[in-house]
Structure 1
Amino acid sequence: MPDNKYGKKAFKYSGLLRSFFAWPLYIGAVLIIICAVMFCVNVTAATVVSIFMAIYLMACGLMYFYMRPRIMSGIVEFASNYSQVQKQLLYNLSVPYCLLDNNGNVMWTNKAMQDCLGIKKDFRKNINTVIPEVTPSIFPDSEIGFKEIRLTFQDRIIRLN
């Protein structure tokens, strides 16, 4: 993402979020059309509507330029906190869980897996140093994709996906 003028990463939005921020502007355009039509019917009523339309457009502009950056930073903060909570839930999950790369190197383990294998949190070696049955030859090729393997280790059944 490109940097903005404050040195922070710019947040780009699209889809429904873009529509959410654009609909007040669309309503403003409709109000302008209504106001123009009203000037043809009744000038006094059109003047009153024009005053309210001007107040509405100023409020929309103020909210768009003042509140939008705060809303965006709130969305980014929520997403960041959500991923941290998700990571913490996975870490405290009672089912042993481990992420490996294609060569069998440990990328991440949860607490249950660390206790099960007797390894430390920062264990970054190959899994076959702990479970010799797990060799690089049993990992799926990139062409095959998903493959399930079941092994027995210390009287436990291990499932590799």
Structure 2
Amino acid sequence: METLSIVGYSEWDPGEYEFEVYNQAWGLAEPTGGYEFTFLPINRAPESVSPTVSLGDTVRGESISDPDGGDRDEFEIELALGDTVAIYFQALSWDPDDRLQILLMRPDGGTMRGFNVQGGDPPSYEIAPPVSMAGKHHVWVYGNDGRFDKGPYEFAIVRASGG
């Protein structure tokens, strides 16, 4: 029996969808063998801290514990038009195979900045483009790139120098 594996998750609006199964290596639309789909709910809630953060807060004590089960921690932060912010992010695991992703998104869902870190690395930071849309922005933390990565992390969003 041929085994096809699709790892990762996507989020869709309610509705009806069609899925096509194909052999990715050869681009053929004629797979053989058995396959199955598993749809899991996304656990958006942080486990131990408030989902609302303020500029300058450091979020600690959270962990991606079950990326296979849809664990994604989501936070909200209020940003003003023109703010320039830096995102500090660190995976606190010592396992370099544990890679975590952070995304800062505008109120309309567009990505402002995203990057990944891996266990054992020092804290990373990136400066996001100036805020072009005032309001509640979203921060997502999850296992990187559809992998089954997990582990504790911390992050802070601070005003960037000169911002």
User: TM-score range with shorter-chain normalisation?
Assistant: under 0.3
Higher relative contact order (CA 8 A, sep 6+): 2
In terms of Rg, which structure is larger?
1
Greater share of residues in helix: 1
Q: TM-score normalised to the size of structure 2?
A: 0.19
Q: TM-score normalised to the size of structure 1?
A: 0.19
